[in-house]
Chain A
């Protein structure tokens, strides 16, 4: 009977997840699932957050921090630092969105490909899961102030390059697909 008490709630919870998966009432992550076939336009809003890095860098610069601590009243300086951390977190979320779009591009290419490599797909799945964990950790440490805001610059540079590559990839795919069949691709 003990086994039963453990198994029954698990199966019911599992079924709940199943029903949740069946209905496309989720937010951004369900965007691609909203139509029968994946569609580049629906699935991939243009990467945008990395483009604001120079403004963010200015807003989060160490000199600004030092200036605030030296010149502003303590309460104001603390409030300003808190606000700056919040901005950094929002920015990290934006970078996450850009990263997710790149990963989604990978999945859409796989979906529309006549052959896929299970090794590549497994690797991408693991990378995505790893990223989710790392993102949560960075977000947490950023919130507690244990990551210097300047370290964000490295991350942003990388996302910027990724986004540029994503634009190129999109252009290549559209060109290739249009050449193959100009009437039917959903782009």
Chain B
């Protein structure tokens, strides 16, 4: 671990402590328990990995596995936090929520299946599996967030400031992870592939400096992106949270059943008239 990584890791540790303190001080766990859990998991992950580095040494195989396992745990817990973000604020709109969760669940299953398929054909090495899975998880998170926001935008349901900050932070991490992991995976499966193949042990020592350089660069970028996201979340939590919005008053189901087909029929006839207008 070089001095830059050390400084960044220490800064992140402080940021994470601050984030967890703010999360519990603002009682975020009462409205977004999975986001609160995500904050804690990040802190414990970092502390755990740090202890393993300290106990087994930074260059040990145990540390290497611990890093990748921590990264994947983070990605999984982040996915739960995103799922919670989808549910929060929309569940009060029963009809729309019933529609949205089906779409998002289908999309998630498809994206997870894609992740599995993508990771399937990779050489049997933790780093390549890890970068592939982490990259695809990041892409899935971006897609799910985008679809959620499109739904909310389409139906005119605004995003509250805290939710918005959480979504921006997660989105930022995911974008950096996706781009970084794509580059990293291309390098690992490209000119550094020999470094992961058992039958090429003879050239491992020659490739080690290059592997280290790639790893250090990616670590620095990854840690900075984490710090930026945590900054966004801490900034959003600097003030006490406003009172949660009141649940909306829903209309009787009959209103939708009567009016929606009528509106669609009118919209369709309007389109027909527009088509007529275009006929020569």
A152 to B250, CA, bound (A): 38
A138 touches B277 (CB 8 A): yes
Given A18-B146, A131-B271, A33-B153 contact (CB < 8 Å): yes
State whether the Cβ of A86 lies closer than 8 Å to any Cβ in chain B. Answer: no
Partner of B155, one of A15, A18, A111, A120: A111
Interface size classification for chain A: 35 or more
A111 touches B157 (CB 8 A): yes
A21 touches B149 (CB 8 A): yes
B256 touches A115 (CB 8 A): yes
State whether the Cβ of A83 lies closer than 8 Å to any Cβ in chain B. Answer: no
Q: Distance in Å from the Cβ of B152 to the closest Cβ of chain A?
A: 7
A134 to B246, CA, bound (A): 40
User: Which residues of chain B are near A19, meaning CB under 8 Å?
Assistant: 168, 171
Partner of B255, one of A11, A99, A103, A113: A113
A151 touches B277 (CB 8 A): yes
User: Which residues of chain A are near B182, meaning CB under 8 Å?
Assistant: 4, 7-8
User: Which residues of chain A are near B158, meaning CB under 8 Å?
Assistant: 24, 33-36
Partner of B157, one of A31, A36, A134: A36
A33 to B276, CA, bound (A): 34
Given A124-B263, A127-B264, A11-B270 contact (CB < 8 Å): no
A158 to B259, CA, bound (A): 17
B60-118 with Cβ < 8 A to chain A: 89, 93-96, 98-99, 102
Q: Distance in Å from the Cβ of A10 to the closest Cβ of chain B?
A: 10
- Taking CB as reference atom, which chain B residue is nearest A137? B278
Given A154-B276, A154-B277, A18-B248 contact (CB < 8 Å): no
Q: Chain A contact residues: over half helix, strand or loop, or mixed?
A: helix
Please list the residues of chain B having a beta carbon within 8 angstroms of any beta carbon in chain A.
Answer: 89, 93-96, 98-99, 102, 139, 142, 145-146, 149-150, 152-160, 164, 167-168, 171-172, 175, 178-179, 182-183, 186, 190, 245-246, 248-253, 255-256, 259-264, 266-271, 273-278
Please list the residues of chain A having a beta carbon within 8 angstroms of any beta carbon in chain B.
Answer: 1, 3-4, 7-8, 11-12, 14-15, 17-19, 21-24, 30-38, 43, 99, 102-118, 120-121, 123-125, 127-128, 130-131, 134-135, 137-138, 141, 147, 151-152, 154-155, 158-159, 161-162, 165, 169, 172-173, 176-177, 180-181, 184-185
